[in-house]
Amino acid sequence: MYQIVTGPLLWLTFAVFFGGLAWRVYTYIKGLDWKLDRVAYGTQTAAGIRGAARSIAAWIVPFGSQGWKVKPIFTIMFFTFHIGLVVVPLFLVGHAVVFKMRFGIGLPTIPMALADVLTVAMLCAGVFIIIRRIALPEVRIITSLYDYLLLAITMAPFVTGFMVVHQLGGDYQFWLLAHVITGEIMLLAVPFTKLFHVVGFFLSRGQLGMDYGIKRGGLTGSPMTW
Most confident of the following: 13-27, 55-69, 104-118? 13-27
Q: Cα dihedral angle (45, 51, 52, 58), rounded to 10 degrees?
A: 170
- Mean pLDDT over 5-29 rounds to 90
Cβ-Cβ contacts under 8 Å for 1 (sequence gap 6 or more): 177
pLDDT in tens, 127-155: 999 999 999 999 999 999 999 999 999 99
pTM of the predicted model as reported, rounded to 2 decimal places:
0.85
Indicate the fold that domain 2-221 takes in CATH: Fumarate Reductase Cytochrome B subunit (1.20.950)
Q: Counting every residue, how long is the chain?
A: 226
pLDDT of residue 67: 82
Q: What are the C-alpha distances in Å from 214 to residues 50, 56, 81, 104?
A: 9, 15, 33, 45
Cβ-Cβ contacts under 8 Å for 207 (sequence gap 6 or more): 32, 37, 39, 52
Whether the pLDDT of residue 43 is over 80: the answer is: no
- Mean pLDDT over 48-53 rounds to 84
What separation, in Å, do the N-terminal and C-terminal C-alpha atoms of the chain show? 60
What is the average pLDDT score of the chain? 87
Q: Which of 16-25, 57-66, 122-131, 144-153 bottoms out in mean pLDDT, i.e. has the lowest?
A: 57-66
pLDDT of residue 106: 78
pLDDT of residue 32: 78
Domain ranges of the chain: 2-221
